[in-house]
């Protein structure tokens, strides 16, 4: 492992890292050079690798999602799919299912309302109308680790981006609250409708010059049976606003949304909602498959979806868990570590807590991440991996970055942001059309303006010396 002395040597022989333009950006934003770790590696063409604080173990924020999604492609394969199933231990006659209905989750990260509706529609098409027994939720697919605390947002579990993974994750267990100012008063609508959630509308109409400043607050109170949400504030006539909140636990949300959709279809479930495992002799009624892994990692990387990344991380663990693993997170860490060793990537100091980057514990060096990107470029699923990353100035979390530069459309870059972290990692082209792997991560107590520094790293890559006809030969 290359330690501090080696870091200094590699930086001294680096190909212009930090460049004068990067130094200028660091100085302008009052960030010391020790806070920036960067690596640029030529993947085609005659360029030279460059390193800056490359072996310092740093918090990568959401660029850690690249580790999880790359490992998933290598370990699960691009065609991998999750499945969600309905089973029964009873008999079906004349539309009545005399027995229990088991909903068995398989860890699908993208089981939304539309796809659950289709699965229930399939159940209906197979002759089920009324269920005499209980709705039993089987959440046994994952062996999850203890829930970690993320202090940046006071561990506010009502925020959808903090939703924890689950074997039966549905719609990110989130509710959409829509508030509209109408002539007869303010209206509050909740989607999806769930019977155990009761709304109290205390929103008032208040004239305003525009719709930019509605003031709406949500106060949930839960007695264990009914969740009452009091919506207060004011909104102007003709205006509307919406907010997403995660207020129920996974079990109550899953049961509530199944019952809501099933009731809309004209079906009934007479029994209670319960947790349990599907009996081995239960009969399969219907099954739904998720989109393939390539589509899922696109959502994770383009839009930096934390819950889906955590779900994928546990999926890796569940696939390879053995008796020695304490849980699926431990199993995922083990196989990812083994994958890095197989690819000849150093694992010293590598810490992957949940695979999403939404963590204060996760650590990786810029060199390790850069070498992983190089391995991905050389791997069989390079196209699938690269295309999952945001395109500079075009989509995902990079859609508003570098819009008026020559780099627009020329790079696929994953971003990362925490209170004290700003990060980019991915693939970029230079002015000659040659490809580079790039990692640039700032860990600093006040990283204000850090995006300008990271953008400058990308601009420097693009501004490689332009080759003439005499030096185009490889």
> Cα angle vertex 42, ends 79, 391, to 5°?
50
Residue whose token pair is 């302008």:
28
pLDDT at 150: 74
Portion of the chain with pLDDT greater than 90, in percent:
87
Question: Taking residues 219-237, what's their average pLDDT?
Answer: 94
Grouping H, G, I as helix, E, B as strand and the rest as coil, residue 59 is coil
pLDDT in tens, 63-94: 999 999 999 999 999 999 999 999 999 999 99
Mean pLDDT of the chain: 93
Q: Is 323 exposed, middle or buried (0-12, 13-18, 19+ CB in 10 A)?
A: exposed
Grouping H, G, I as helix, E, B as strand and the rest as coil, residue 311 is helix
* Per-residue pLDDT band at 212 (split at 50, 70, 90): confident
pLDDT at 389 over 60: yes
Q: Give dist(CA 448, CA 426) in Å, integer.
A: 22
Residue 257's Cβ-side half-sphere holds a number of Cα atoms within 13 Å equal to: 27
- What is the CB neighbour count within 10 angstroms for residue 151? 8
Please say whether the beta carbons of 307 and 354 come within 8 A. Answer: no
Question: Taking residues 325-346, what's their average pLDDT?
Answer: 98
Top pLDDT among 468 and 395 is at 395
Q: Give dist(CA 270, CA 134) in Å, integer.
A: 7
* Per-residue pLDDT band at 14 (split at 50, 70, 90): very low
Which DSSP state fits 160?
Answer: G
- What is the CB neighbour count within 10 angstroms for residue 233? 16
pLDDT at 8 over 50: no
pLDDT at 208: 86
Question: Taking residues 137-160, what's their average pLDDT?
Answer: 83
Which DSSP state fits 144?
Answer: P
Task: Point out which residues pair with 425 in neighbouring strands.
Answer: 414, 439
Please say whether the beta carbons of 428 and 411 come within 8 A. Answer: yes
* Per-residue pLDDT band at 155 (split at 50, 70, 90): low
pLDDT in tens, 245-300: 999 999 999 999 999 999 999 999 999 999 999 999 999 999 999 999 999 999 99
pLDDT at 13 over 50: no
pLDDT at 464 over 70: yes
pLDDT at 473 over 80: no
Q: Rounded to two decimals, what is the model's pTM?
A: 0.94
pLDDT in tens, 404-460: 999 999 999 999 999 999 999 999 999 999 999 999 999 999 999 999 999 999 999
Residue whose token pair is 């994953």:
414
* Per-residue pLDDT band at 15 (split at 50, 70, 90): low
Rounded (10°) angle between helices 64-76 and 293-303: 180
Grouping H, G, I as helix, E, B as strand and the rest as coil, residue 259 is helix
Tell how strand 435-443 and strand 421-429 pair up.
antiparallel
Q: Where are the alpha helices (DSSP H) in 198-271?
A: 250-264
- What is the CB neighbour count within 10 angstroms for residue 239? 19
* Per-residue pLDDT band at 182 (split at 50, 70, 90): very high
Question: Taking residues 197-223, what's their average pLDDT?
Answer: 92
């Amino acid at each position: 492992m290359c330690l501090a002395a080696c870091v200094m040597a590699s930086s001294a022989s680096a190909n212009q890292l930090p460049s004068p333009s990067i130094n200028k950006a660091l100085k302008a934003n009052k960030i010391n050079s020790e806070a920036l770790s960067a690596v640029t590696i030529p993947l085609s063409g005659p360029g030279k690798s460059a390193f800056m604080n490359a072996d310092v173990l740093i918090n990568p924020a959401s660029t850690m999602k690249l580790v999880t999604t790359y490992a998933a492609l290598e370990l699960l394969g691009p065609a991998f799919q999750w499945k969600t199933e309905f089973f029964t231990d009873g008999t079906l006659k004349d539309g009545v299912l005399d027995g229990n209905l088991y909903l068995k989750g398989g860890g699908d990260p993208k089981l939304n309302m539309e796809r659950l509706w289709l699965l229930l529609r399939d159940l209906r098409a197979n002759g089920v109308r009324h269920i005499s027994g209980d709705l039993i939720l089987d959440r046994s697919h994952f062996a999850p680790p203890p829930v970690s605390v993320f202090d940046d947002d006071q561990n506010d579990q009502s925020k959808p981006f903090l939703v924890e993974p689950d074997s039966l994750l549905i719609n990110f267990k989130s509710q959409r609250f829509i508030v509209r100012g109408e002539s007869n008063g303010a209206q509050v609508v909740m989607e999806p409708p769930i019977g155990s959630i009761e709304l109290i509308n205390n929103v008032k109409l208040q004239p305003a010059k525009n719709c930019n400043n509605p003031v709406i607050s949500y106060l949930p109170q839960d007695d264990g049976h009914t969740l009452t949400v009091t919506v207060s504030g004011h909104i102007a006539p003709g205006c509307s606003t919406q907010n997403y909140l995660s207020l129920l636990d996974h079990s109550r949300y899953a049961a509530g949304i199944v019952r809501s959709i099933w009731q809309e279809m004209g079906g009934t479930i007479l029994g209670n909602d319960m947790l349990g495992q599907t009996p081995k002799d239960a009969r399969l009624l219907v099954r739904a498959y998720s989109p393939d892994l390539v589509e899922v990692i696109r959502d994770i990387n383009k839009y930096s979806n934390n819950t889906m990344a955590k779900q994928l991380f546990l999926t890796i663990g569940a696939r390879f868990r053995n008796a020695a693993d304490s849980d699926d997170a431990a199993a995922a860490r083990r196989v990812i570590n083994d994958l890095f060793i197989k690819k000849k990537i150093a694992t010293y100091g590598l810490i992957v807590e949940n695979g999403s980057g939404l963590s204060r514990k996760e650590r990786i060096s810029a060199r390790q991440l850069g070498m992983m990107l190089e391995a991905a470029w050389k791997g069989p699923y390079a196209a699938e991996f690269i295309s999952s990353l945001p395109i500079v100035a075009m989509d995902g979390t990079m859609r508003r970055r570098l819009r008026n530069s020559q780099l627009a459309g020329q790079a696929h870059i994953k971003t990362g942001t925490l209170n004290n972290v700003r990060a980019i990692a991915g693939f970029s082209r230079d002015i000659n059309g040659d490809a580079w792997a790039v990692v640039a991560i700032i860990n600093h107590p006040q990283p204000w303006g850090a995006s300008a520094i990271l953008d400058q790293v990308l601009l420097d890559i693009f501004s490689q010396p332009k080759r003439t006809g005499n030096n185009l030969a490889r």
